[in-house]
Amino acid sequence: MNKLSKLDKFNGILTYILFLLSFWYVTWTLSGTSVGGTLLDGIKNQWYFTNQSNTLVVIVAIAYWSRFEDRKWFKYLAQIVLINIIITATGYHFILAPDTVGFYGHLSHTIVPIVYTIFYFTAVRAHLKLKQFLILIIYPMVYLGLVLLLGTFPLGEYPYPFLDVDANGLSNVLRFTLLFMFPGYSVLAFILTVLKIQLEKRVFAK
């Protein structure tokens, strides 16, 4: 068995593990159990970036199984989900920094992000160009815009304390997200893209 055949076998097993872990968490959130409520509460719970990111992980795993890995849209989706799930992990552990973390907290913010990152760098053949690193930050910026828009007007509530305009003021929220988070994750997106390009040159080059 050659090197790539062994890698393909490893990726097949890894995809099953990734799907089971992320699907387990998404099913738990959608059931409403995570918020002690009903199915409707579970659907509303998808307002959180964490839950959206884990749902996208499920979609990527299913698309990979369905042999869409060579489609351009799949490569972009897998790339976007990479930064999403890393934001989910780092934002939870370093920005929100809860005193205690339960099983589902670790499942969604630690375990799934680690497994997905390994999956992305070993299974997804993205064939990226360096300028495409900007693709990784599209989803988080759209999410930020929607949170500020919908949270301020129809909903009147925000998914995370650091995005709460009522408590922090709009200028403080924008300062933190656009002057701290946005540049930081842009640099991270650039580094991840460079690493992916170099890895593909070494492993997948014909």
Q: 2 falls in which pLDDT band (50, 70, 90)?
A: low
From residue 3, give the alpha-carbon distance in Å to each of 9, 88, 91, 204.
10, 32, 36, 10
Where exactly are the structural domains of the chain? Answer: 3-203
Q: 6 falls in which pLDDT band (50, 70, 90)?
A: confident
- What is the pLDDT at residue 36? 64
- What is the pLDDT at residue 178? 92
Q: Can you tell me the distance from the alpha carbon of 155 to that of 117, in angstroms, rounded to the nearest whole number?
A: 33
Q: Which value, to the nearest 10 degrees, does the dihedral of the CA atoms of residues 95, 99, 103, 109 take? A: 10
pLDDT in tens, 123-147: 998 777 777 778 888 899 999 999 9
pLDDT in tens, 48-82: 999 999 999 999 999 999 989 888 899 889 999 99
pLDDT at 17 over 90: yes
Q: Indicate the average pLDDT of the chain.
A: 88
pLDDT in tens, 26-46: 999 988 766 566 667 777 788
pLDDT at 173 over 90: yes
- Percent of the chain at pLDDT > 90 equals 55
Q: Judge whether 53 and 69 are in contact, CB under 8 Å.
A: no
Nearest to 81 by CA among 52, 107, 106, 56: 56
pLDDT at 92 over 90: yes
194 token code pair: 């460079």
- What is the pLDDT at residue 94? 92
Taking residues 177-203, report their average pLDDT.
89
- What is the pLDDT at residue 39? 66
Burial call 36-56: b when 16+ CB within 10 Å, e when fewer: eeeeebbeebbbbbbbbbbbb
Taking residues 78-87, report their average pLDDT.
94
